[in-house]
Chain A
Amino acid sequence: MGAGIANRVRELRDAHGHMTQQALAELVSVSRQTINAIETGKYQPSLEVALKIAREFDQPVESIFKLVD
């Protein structure tokens, strides 16, 4: 069985002045529902979207998305 991917997107949104899912969605050009799916682990974003999220939070991508066994 492959490893899953955990992320800190929700935590980072809260840390950035309670940024809304809609606001982040608009910044990275996806729907609000896709941000929600990423946060709840229902969808693993492409590298492009992961890098855009990392850029918006000014964090390295590996500190936001991590492999979990």
Chain B
Amino acid sequence: MSALSFYEKSAWGTFIALSVLGGIYFSAVWELWAAGQLIAPAVFGLALGFTIFLVVVLVVFHVLIAIVDRPGDEDERDRLIGYRATQWSSFALFAGVISIVGLALFAGVLEDSALHALLYSPMAIIQLLMIVVLAAQLLELLVRIILYRRGT
């Protein structure tokens, strides 16, 4: 009998996969940016590869844990943990997006600055937004794991 429920295993696996693959993706984006190659075709190919690989990894992982521990419906504890984790990630997403908008407005004032050069590149803005989305998702998974382990 497994100590972790299907949903807790799912949170752990997704957290690890997103952390590792997200780290690889953004290190590749950083290298493109450093080389002055942060252009749409390169970023699109990278993002497409990242998305397909992530989906394959998560599907294989969930099939494997479903074989070991047949998933039932979420019960009230799973739902409560889900609501609380989503509250945290929603706030993080909101704060992150507002911060990027604020930075972009600020960069607009400083026309000859490096900040202006960075934030007035659509590709850079897209990557910053992707970082915020990834960070919010990781926070949600982390809160789920903590609530499963330490209690609600």
Interface residues, chain A, with chain B CB atoms under 8 Å away: 22, 29-34, 37, 40-46, 48-49
User: Given that A29-B75, A30-B77, A37-B77 are contacting pairs, would A43 and B5 also be in contact in the complex, using a CB cutoff of 8 Å?
Assistant: no
User: Cβ of A43 and Cβ of B1 under 8 Å apart?
Assistant: no
Complex: chain A residue closest to B151, CB-CB: A42
Complex: chain A residue closest to B7, CB-CB: A31
User: Given that A22-B1, A31-B5, A31-B72 are contacting pairs, would A37 and B151 also be in contact in the complex, using a CB cutoff of 8 Å?
Assistant: yes
Interface residues, chain B, with chain A CB atoms under 8 Å away: 1, 3-5, 8, 72, 75-78, 150-152
User: Cβ of B77 and Cβ of A31 under 8 Å apart?
Assistant: yes
User: Cβ of B77 and Cβ of A34 under 8 Å apart?
Assistant: yes
Complex: chain B residue closest to A26, CB-CB: B72
- Across chains A and B, which 3 residue pairs bring their CB atoms closest together, nearest first? A42-B151, A30-B75, A33-B5
User: Cβ of A43 and Cβ of B75 under 8 Å apart?
Assistant: no
Inside 8 A of B77's CB, which chain A residues have their CB?
Answer: 30-31, 33-34, 37, 43, 45
